[in-house]
């Protein structure tokens, strides 16, 4: 019993010390990285530069003056990228004293070459008129909305689109209510209902049973 109490006392003493040491180590590895990114030729701040920590899905962008600030760890690699400049990479020193690190990063403009496009006129006005008439123009939003609200299209969507949870619940409750109304007796048959025959004839004329 004394041995158990002795080991328990040692564990209660060692665990807080170890936890505190780990916390101090983790806190010491955190670095506040800040700085400014400028052009190499005119020393002008570059806005909207992507500042990303390699291997991690986090980062930031520079403001309108090229200034940024981000929290990183010692040993991290930070990459600066922009569509008009060559990318740059900065490594945070592992033996850095303190928890702040500032950089003034210069970026060089990069030239992006687009694929060549050759524009040729039609040989004759007649060919141009024929191609102009036969060219299919993509539908705009108004034309797409008009097709989607067409009566035929809506009828097809009503047949093929499954009901949501609210509609399925309403149908189930309706069936339960019908069974409760005719509980203990034979429910009526719609074969003698003129309204049901009228609806059947209208559905037959519309062609609702052609695909069934």
Backbone CA torsion sign across 187, 192, 195, 197: positive
193 & 205 share domain:
yes
Instruction: Compute the distance between CA of residue 20 and CA of residue 24 in angstroms, rounded to an integer.
Output: 6
Residue 171 sits in which domain range?
A: 163-212
pLDDT tens readout for residues 13-47: 444 444 444 434 445 688 999 999 999 988 999 99
* 3-state class (DSSP) for residue 2: helix
- Give the CA dihedral 25, 27, 30, 32, nearest 10 degrees: -150
> Does a structural domain hold residue 205?
yes
Residues 6+ apart with CB under 8 A from 40: 106, 107, 108
Task: Tell me the C-alpha distance between 187 and 34, whole Å.
Answer: 80
Examine the domain organization and report whether 8 and 77 are in the same domain: yes
> pLDDT tens-digit profile of 159-185?
777 777 788 888 888 888 877 877 777
pTM above 0.75, yes or no: no
Check whether residue 6 and residue 97 sit in a common domain: yes
Q: Is residue 82 part of a domain?
A: yes
> pLDDT tens digit string along 76-108?
999 999 988 999 999 999 888 888 999 999 999
Residues 179 and 147 placed together within one structural domain of the fold? no
Where is the domain boundary, 76, 107, 138?
A: 107
Residue 115 forms part of a structural domain: no
Same domain (yes/no): 179, 92: no
Q: Are residues 46 and 74 both part of a single domain? A: yes
What ranges in 73-192 are assigned the alpha helix state H? 125-134, 141-148, 151-160, 165-181
Question: Looking at the structure, do residues 103 and 12 belong to the same domain, yes or no?
Answer: yes
């Amino acid at each position: 019993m004394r041995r158990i109490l002795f080991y328990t006392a040692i564990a209660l003493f060692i665990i807080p010390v170890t936890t505190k040491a780990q916390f101090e180590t983790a806190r010491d590895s955190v670095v506040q990285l800040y700085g400014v990114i400028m052009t190499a030729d005119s020393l002008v701040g570059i806005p909207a530069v992507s500042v990303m920590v390699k291997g991690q899905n986090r980062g930031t962008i520079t403001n309108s003056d090229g200034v940024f600030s981000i929290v990183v760890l010692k040993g991290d690699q930070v990459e600066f990228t922009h569509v008009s400049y060559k990318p740059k990479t900065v490594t945070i020193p592992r033996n850095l004293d303190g928890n702040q690190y500032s950089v003034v990063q210069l970026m060089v403009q990069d030239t992006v070459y687009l694929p060549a496009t050759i524009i040729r006129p039609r040989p004759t006005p007649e060919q141009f008129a024929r191609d102009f008439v036969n060219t299919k123009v993509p539908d705009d939003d108004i034309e797409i909305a008009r097709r989607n609200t067409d009566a035929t299209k809506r009828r097809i969507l009503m047949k093929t689109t499954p009901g949501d949870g609210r509609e399925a619940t309403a149908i189930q409750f309706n069936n339960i209510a019908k069974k409760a109304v005719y509980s203990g007796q034979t429910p009526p048959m719609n074969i003698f209902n003129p309204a049901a025959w009228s609806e059947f004839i209208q559905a037959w004329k519309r062609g609702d049973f052609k695909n069934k």
